[in-house]
Amino acid sequence: MSVTPEIRPGVRLGIDPGDARIGVAASDPSGFLASPVETVRRGKGDLDRLVALREERAAVEVVVGLPVSLSGREGPAAGKVREFAELLALRVAPVPVRLCDERLSTVTAEAVLRDRGKKGRKRREVVDQAAAVVILQHALDSERSTGRPPGELVPTQNRTGPRRTSE
C-alpha cells in the first residue's frame, strides 16, 4: 500500500511576474486547487497590491514563477524575477516566498484559453492570471507527489557577492 505525501495546509499565492503585468492566482485552503485572482499592473504600487492580496487571503506562502530556458539555464529575465522575488520576500516576511520553474506556463495558459474560446484582447487580459494558475498548480502537485515544498526558498536577508544566473 502506497502512502500519498501530505501537503501543508493553507492558502498559497501564485505569481507570474512580467514586464507589464503580474498574474496572481491563489489556492484553496487545503492547497489542492489553484484559481485565478487578478492581474496587477507593473509599476508603482505593485508590491503593495501583492502584499495586500497576501494579507486578504491569509496566504501561508507565495510561489513566484522563475523563467528558465528549456535547457534549464537562467537568462536576464530570470535575474529580474529573482530581484523581484527578493523584494517581495522582504515585504511579506516571515511568510516564505519560493521560486518555481515556470517553463512553458504562458504557452500552456494561452493554449487553455484558446481552447476555451477566449480570443485576442479578452485572452490577453487574463493570460497572466492563467499562467499564475499553471505555476501554482504545478507547485501544489509537485508538493503533493514529493512531500516536499516546491522550488527554491527566497532569502529575506540582503545577499552579497555576484548574482548566480545559471546553474
pLDDT of residue 74: 79
Assigned domain for 5 exists = no
Assigned domain for 95 exists = yes
Assigned domain for 165 exists = no
pTM: 0.82
Number of domains in the chain: 1
Over the stretch 38-80, which tens digit does the pLDDT of each residue have?
Answer: 999 999 999 999 999 999 999 999 999 999 877 778 788 899 9
The cell 506556463 sits on which residue?
A: 105
Assigned domain for 42 exists = yes
pLDDT of residue 51: 98
Task: Flag whether pLDDT at 119 surpasses 90.
Answer: no
Assigned domain for 68 exists = yes
Assigned domain for 106 exists = yes
CATH number of domain containing 137:
3.30.420.140
Assigned domain for 91 exists = yes
At 15, is the secondary structure helix, strand, or coil?
strand
Q: Work out the pLDDT band at 101, boundaries 50, 70, 90.
A: confident
- Of 28, 15, 105, 125, the closest CA to residue 63 belongs to 15
**What does the block give as the cell for 54?**
497576501
Buried b (16+ CB within 10 A) or exposed e, 107-129: ebbbebbeeeebeeeebeebbbb
Assigned domain for 7 exists = no
Instruction: Supply the range of the domain harboring residue 64.
Output: 12-153
Q: How far is CA 165 from the centre of its chain?
A: 19
**What is the rounded CA–CA span in Å between residue 17 and residue 85?**
9
Contact 131, 104 (CB under 8 A): no
